[in-house]
Amino acid sequence: MNYLTICLFAFLPFLTIAQQPAQKPTDERPSEQEIMLEKLFIEATREKILGKKQDALTGFQEVLQKDPKNHMASYEIAVLSNELNQFQQAYVHAENAVNLDKKSVLYVDFFSKLLDKKGEQSKAAALYAKLIELYPDDKSLYFKCADTWANAGDNESAIKVYSNLEKRVGLNPEIFGYKYRLYLESGKEKKGIQELQQLIEKFPNESAYVLLLANYYKKNGKTEEASKYYDKVLKNDPTNASANIEMLDIFRVNGDTSRYLSALKSLFEDNRQSTDSKLNALNPLLNDVLASKAQKYSDQILELSQSLARLDPENPAVHLPLGKLLLYKSRYAEAAIAFESYTKWDKSKIEPWLLLLESTLKAGKGDLLLEKSLQFADLYPDQAMSQYYRGFALLRCGDFKGAQKFLKRAADMSLSDEQLHARCKSALGEAYKAQGDSKADAAFNDAKKSTDMNVQFHLASSMLRNNESKSAEDIITKLSVSDSKNLTYKSLEAKLLCNKAKYTEAKQLTERIMNEGALNDPYVLELYGDIHYWLNDQDAALLHWKQAKEKGCSSEKLNMKIENKKPE
């Protein structure tokens, strides 16, 4: 079988569909003219198959020149001209093909694309309308016609086409979807709702349509009507997340918090509901709690948050709201665990890191603060807060030179943030003071006007390091009142008692601090060693000093204590 024969067989289906020549008597032989035209057409088709578009175009043009009514040649010229970016020629020949054969869907489909480029969608829609008259049972033509009217900006004509199709096939969800969108675009929402109600009557168990109607009523403030349809959805589909969440939102907006919580609990007990659905339902009331608008529900919200974290522990999204709630309730150690879980899975956001370090500091976990502040500073070196927390951690461990390096950076980077700048300067002042550096006074002077509790903490801590107990006492009392659960603040109370030689009381308070979570805080361990020494238990003192060093305390004073087996 030669190549020409292969091309002919390849083209025969197209001849059957598009050309549809008049039937000849079986005994009538084709004329020489017809044989020549067919040969030219096949040659042009061969060039097209081989990818020689320009040669193919020339061939089809020759066919059309010899046979001006050859609609197939005109169509092929249009297609090739379009591919060769000869739009005007493509347009003329596509239109000619349609005029020569008004029954060809193929020709109208191609011509409509060119009409769309030229902004003549109405003309294309009219051509599809004529095809619908010829082929009234072809549903695809109705969709093409309506879509073309819509592209022309004539939504009313598009809707009429869909309505005519509905008369033939009956109410149909697919047709409704298109009509509903067109009604909304045309500002005829009520008309669209009427159509929706008819569809619900025909398909009463289809939740998607009922939910659409419920959402419409809710949007328009008709919550009773909305609730009725949401209930209808839930009767057919109890696990429908959208309906459950919308019902919860109605309860919340209406101030019916008890029903909100009841529905929320049911939602959480349903294992078929996704974690995201539960979080979306929980967040509105959780945010109210965090904004101090619904404190009395904090325990119930916390219980639900904890249950979600237990069920889906590897999902970072559940740990962030849980951590925020625990932090709000001053349960700092547990909050730190939640935030650490979040940053384990997702390191890309700054807020969880800040919350982790805040809760770690307040929980008195100095060893963890050392570790996490370093990670945070490495991840976000251009953030003033990352430099501050790193400096804070080193300062607490007696690495005053290291602390100065980070705190200087933080101070320079925080000039536009008055509160943070005051924190950085006061911490820097403490680091300078600990080494007897005269720059301490200037640093403290920049910060003393601030009422920020961390600024006050650095002032009091510096005073205690220099045995200025009387000056520090009032500040420490204020710190304790401001946050009685903050173990880092509370450690200053123990230091104050030790400075005042109230060693038994200092020991009791330090043990309480350690039992509440600061068991591995290097500062607390060193202080505990000092207290044991002054209570004449040198072995215990040395043990705790060594533990403080193991947990990250690197001060020269601590090394001297271990070497000399006594405080300086």
Q: What's the rounded Cα separation, in Å, for the pair 331 and 122?
A: 68
Residues 6+ apart with CB under 8 A from 345: 314, 315, 316, 319
Residue 36 has pLDDT above 80, yes or no: yes
What is residue 21's predicted lDDT score, i.e. its pLDDT?
A: 40
Q: How many domains does the chain have?
A: 1
Could you tell me how far CA 478 lies from the centroid of its own chain? 41
> Average pLDDT in the 286-293 region?
88
Q: Does a structural domain hold residue 8?
A: yes
Helices (H), 50-120: 53-66, 71-83, 87-100, 105-117
Could you tell me how far CA 176 lies from the centroid of its own chain? 32
What is residue 17's predicted lDDT score, i.e. its pLDDT?
A: 39
Q: Does a structural domain hold residue 317?
A: no
Residues 6+ apart with CB under 8 A from 539: none
> Average pLDDT in the 531-551 region?
96
Q: What tens digit of pLDDT does each residue of 230-248 get?
A: 888 878 877 777 787 788 8
Helix (H), strand (E) at residue 218: helix 207-219
Helix (H), strand (E) at residue 464: helix 453-465
Q: Residue 292: how many CB atoms within 10 A of its CB?
A: 9
**Choice among 52-61, 189-198, 403-412 with the minimum mean pLDDT:** 189-198
What is residue 28's predicted lDDT score, i.e. its pLDDT?
A: 67
Helix (H, G, I), strand (E, B) or coil at 117: helix
Q: What's the rounded Cα separation, in Å, for the pair 549 and 206?
A: 68
Q: Are 97 and 78 in contact (CB under 8 A)?
A: yes
Across all residues in the chain, what is the average pLDDT? 88
Q: Are 527 and 495 in contact (CB under 8 A)?
A: yes
Q: What is the CATH number of the domain that holds 90?
A: 1.25.40.10
DSSP label at residue 348: S
Residues 6+ apart with CB under 8 A from 253: 223
What is residue 565's predicted lDDT score, i.e. its pLDDT?
A: 92
Residue 292 has pLDDT above 90, yes or no: no
> Average pLDDT in the 274-302 region?
88
> Average pLDDT in the 201-230 region?
82
Residue 20 has pLDDT above 50, yes or no: no
Which residue pairs from 227-232 have beta carbons closer than 8 angstroms and sit at least 24 positions apart in sequence?
A: none
Q: Does a structural domain hold residue 68?
A: yes
Q: What's the rounded Cα separation, in Å, for the pair 386 and 492?
A: 24
DSSP label at residue 22: P
Q: What's the rounded Cα separation, in Å, for the pair 266 and 401?
A: 56
Q: Does a structural domain hold residue 91?
A: yes
Q: What tens digit of pLDDT does each residue of 133-165 get?
A: 999 999 999 889 989 998 988 888 988 988 898
Cα distances from 219 to residues 266, 386, 507, in angstroms, run 25, 44, 63
> Average pLDDT in the 66-71 region?
91
Q: Residue 13: how many CB atoms within 10 A of its CB?
A: 9
Residue 10 has pLDDT above 60, yes or no: no
Q: What tens digit of pLDDT does each residue of 473-506 get?
A: 999 999 999 999 999 999 999 999 999 999 999 9
What is residue 144's predicted lDDT score, i.e. its pLDDT?
A: 92
Where do we find the tokens 């009509």? 179
Q: How confident is the model at residue 12 (pLDDT cuts 50, 70, 90)?
A: very low
Where do we find the tokens 């959208």? 242
Residues 6+ apart with CB under 8 A from 85: none
Domain that holds residue 76: 1-17+33-118
Q: Does a structural domain hold residue 429?
A: no
Q: How confident is the model at residue 24 (pLDDT cuts 50, 70, 90)?
A: very low
Cα distances from 533 to residues 51, 209, 373, in angstroms, run 94, 77, 31
Q: What's the rounded Cα separation, in Å, for the pair 277 and 246?
A: 11
Phi and psi dihedrals of 114, rounded to 5?
A: -70, -35
Where do we find the tokens 């005829």? 188
Q: Does a structural domain hold residue 76?
A: yes
Q: Does a structural domain hold residue 3?
A: yes
Q: Residue 550: how many CB atoms within 10 A of its CB?
A: 12
Q: What's the rounded Cα separation, in Å, for the pair 17 and 257?
A: 68
Cα of first residue to Cα of last residue in the chain, in angstroms, is 106
Q: Does a structural domain hold residue 54?
A: yes
Which residue pairs from 238-245 have beta carbons closer than 8 angstroms and sit at least 24 positions apart in sequence?
A: 238/270, 239/270, 239/272, 239/273, 240/207, 240/211, 241/273, 241/274, 241/277, 242/211, 243/207, 243/211, 243/214, 244/273, 244/277, 244/281, 245/277, 245/280, 245/281
Where do we find the tokens 């007696």? 398
Cα distances from 176 to residues 191, 206, 232, in angstroms, run 12, 13, 21
- What pTM did the predictor assign? 0.65
Residues 6+ apart with CB under 8 A from 447: 422, 423, 425, 426, 429, 455, 458, 459
What is residue 481's predicted lDDT score, i.e. its pLDDT?
A: 93
Q: What percent of the chain has pLDDT over 90?
A: 58
Q: Residue 285, exposed/middle/buried by CB under 10 A (0-12, 13-18, 19+)?
A: buried
What is residue 226's predicted lDDT score, i.e. its pLDDT?
A: 85
